[in-house]
Structure 1
């Protein structure tokens, strides 16, 4: 029954920490993330990262991205695809160069430095999604651009990772053509299912004389899309996001959103936030402080500038471009998966794994306050310009 005690602590402390964070002028998610660090192995050691935590957290992040898909303005997403592509590309080029340079400066071999470069390119916007939701900005032009860029980033980084590992002799059986084909297949089948399968299925199920048939089927579609994405070597969160967008085009959108959010935010999403902090451990980090500081600064700055450049080049003003860049900073669970892959393949040495994990956690912790500050500055600037116009 130990997992029940873990659940009690997670649910209680995340709500208290979230409230305290808001009172201090920060997004609630920042407090929830810190709960994982404090209750986990890094500080108090009250909660361990068990299989139960990992699996519950996986459901949490899938539901979080599913809700993001439900709330996404599809027309806005379509109109901003050029900006999303530019932000994703900018958020890969600069981190790749910065990651390779930082690794080379610390004496890494060419192959290890190349893997570091790929690791720096990863983006996970699950935390950004939560901050944008709290600020009611998820459907804004900046919010939809961040979401679109994250989807493109995921595809490009997985292809880049496969290419690098094949080139370095790790997993040389991976065919780049097959990998790209799987990505194309995922989007073709997902789009076709969203148009021709999901709407009639939901309409038919809504007539069943059973309890919550629509909500249950929405969850089936969410997890089904996520599993299909994983099968084709995409991140499951992309599948869940796609499922949310598919269901957002049906008449059941608001009913699903209204009933899924309590399920997600009461149990699963808090566990996901805490699970990120549970990966932190300060054991043996004393000898790598220099490396940790450098890679963390490079990781944050290169993503911020890369996202900014992509947004600026496609018509966003400076304020909005900084917001978009900050929304791409978090590496989250995507980078942790890549790091674990590198560790297994010998491209990331065990001695550097802890520093990488802490870097990932810091970029994730830095994202909520960055977004809050930059969005607040953008809103203030917009208010001033409106006031000045009205006074003229």
Structure 2
């Protein structure tokens, strides 16, 4: 965010760019850790736990930001800003109720219905319903979908839902999502934004790496384990892409730097497994 201000962004635009790079995509790191047998180590557990908390905080900050930066008009159930804030706060109470009580009961009820894929259909109803309510109270739909997924994750039917929804996602929605990003990109301004891309990539890598490394060492991990955690946290991946898509749709940052931001996100996603593999090989050499 601070670096964005130096490149002439307005304060809210710079703040939103900071939110884009706040999240962590752990999917690639998990695959690298699993393939090398490091997933169940202290570093692997720290990466998984930190990434989940990171994403939850990023989604909450995103929802708060979109509330305060709405471009005029009605955002929420009423025209009263403070009443809308109350409804948004109540939404998170509703999320807790769904997580603790509603989701487990709802999925159990769906399991008893003699209909093909009843559990999967119920999970989609729950998550899309939460997304709709989030949008209704003035938050982003991605907030509701995210917490809907978290609620379903802790139910006994999670494995069945995960298997079926993954098939739908990888065959339809995920390719469509990336095609949409590709259609929105242009390389016309990348040459003039070269310095911006370099600076943001370096800061994007070092900020996550140093934060992961030194905070891990504070909590008792060895320096090399801390480096593993830092490297595993660098990737922004699909989480940052989703936030960037929300930003461009709501005009929360300049359109002419959209392609450059996407390129920076891709670079951090590519660099993370390279760094992770480097420190894994170093750890294996020492042991």
TM-score using structure 2 length: 0.77
Once the 2 structures are TM-superposed, how far is the Cα of residue 158 of structure 1 from its aligned partner?
Answer: 4.5
Q: For the residues of structure 2 that align with 1:147 and 1:369, how far apart are their CA atoms?
A: 20
Partner of 1:279: 184
Once the 2 structures are TM-superposed, how far is the Cα of residue 238 of structure 1 from its aligned partner?
Answer: 3.3
Q: For the residues of structure 2 that align with 1:160 and 1:237, how far apart are their CA atoms?
A: 13
Structure 1 pair 250/376, CA: closer, same or farther in 2 (3 Å)? same
Q: For the residues of structure 1 that align with 2:229 and 2:153, how far apart are their CA atoms?
A: 26
Partner of 1:114: 11
1:269 aligns with 2:174: yes
Partner of 1:365: 266
Partner of 1:49: none
Once the 2 structures are TM-superposed, how far is the Cα of residue 213 of structure 1 from its aligned partner?
Answer: 0.8
Partner of 2:229: 320
Once the 2 structures are TM-superposed, how far is the Cα of residue 171 of structure 1 from its aligned partner?
Answer: 3.8
Q: Is the 8 A contact 2:228 2:280 kept in 1?
A: no
Q: Is the 8 A contact 1:330 1:363 kept in 2?
A: no
Q: For the residues of structure 1 that align with 2:206 and 2:85, how far apart are their CA atoms?
A: 28
User: Cα deviations across residues 312-335 of structure 1 (Å, max 9, x unaligned)?
Assistant: 453251331232133479741322
Structure 1 pair 124/319, CA: closer, same or farther in 2 (3 Å)? same
Figure out how many residues of one structure are paired with residues of the other and give that number: 267
User: Cα deviations across residues 96-119 of structure 1 (Å, max 9, x unaligned)?
Assistant: 21110122xxxxxxxx53233123
User: Cα deviations across residues 119-165 of structure 1 (Å, max 9, x unaligned)?
Assistant: 321327999354245444698431331232122123324534655x4
Q: Bigger CA drift: 189-198 or 118-127? A: 118-127
Larger RCO of the pair (alpha carbons < 8 Å, separation 6+) = 1
> The residue matched to 2:155 in structure 1 has which SS?
coil
Q: Is the 8 A contact 1:307 1:325 kept in 2?
A: yes
Q: For the residues of structure 1 that align with 2:185 and 2:87, how far apart are their CA atoms?
A: 34
Q: Is the 8 A contact 2:22 2:54 kept in 1?
A: no
Structure 1 pair 159/305, CA: closer, same or farther in 2 (3 Å)? farther
Once the 2 structures are TM-superposed, how far is the Cα of residue 299 of structure 1 from its aligned partner?
Answer: 2.5
Q: Is the 8 A contact 1:303 1:325 kept in 2?
A: yes
Q: Is the 8 A contact 2:26 2:235 kept in 1?
A: no
Structure 1 pair 181/308, CA: closer, same or farther in 2 (3 Å)? farther
Once the 2 structures are TM-superposed, how far is the Cα of residue 370 of structure 1 from its aligned partner?
Answer: 1.4
Structure 1: runs of 5+ lacking an equivalent: 1-95, 104-111, 388-392
Q: Is the 8 A contact 1:146 1:324 kept in 2?
A: yes
TM-score using structure 1 length: 0.59
Partner of 1:295: 196
Structure 1 pair 177/319, CA: closer, same or farther in 2 (3 Å)? farther
Partner of 1:36: none
User: Cα deviations across residues 8-27 of structure 1 (Å, max 9, x unaligned)?
Assistant: xxxxxxxxxxxxxxxxxxxx
Runs of 4+ in 1 over 6 A off after TM superposition: 124-127, 172-176
Q: Is the 8 A contact 2:241 2:265 kept in 1?
A: yes
User: Cα deviations across residues 208-257 of structure 1 (Å, max 9, x unaligned)?
Assistant: 12111111101111212222233344343332232222222222121222
User: Cα deviations across residues 254-304 of structure 1 (Å, max 9, x unaligned)?
Assistant: 122222221221222122122211111245x3xx733x1122223323333
Aligned with residue 277 of structure 2, among 376, 380, 389: 376
Alignment RMSD: 3.3
Partner of 2:153: 248
1:63-212 to 2 correspondence within 5 Å?
96-103=1-8, 112-123=9-20, 128-132=25-29, 134-135=31-32, 136=34, 140-160=45-65, 163=68, 165=69, 171=72, 177=82, 181-212=86-117
Q: Is the 8 A contact 2:23 2:58 kept in 1?
A: no
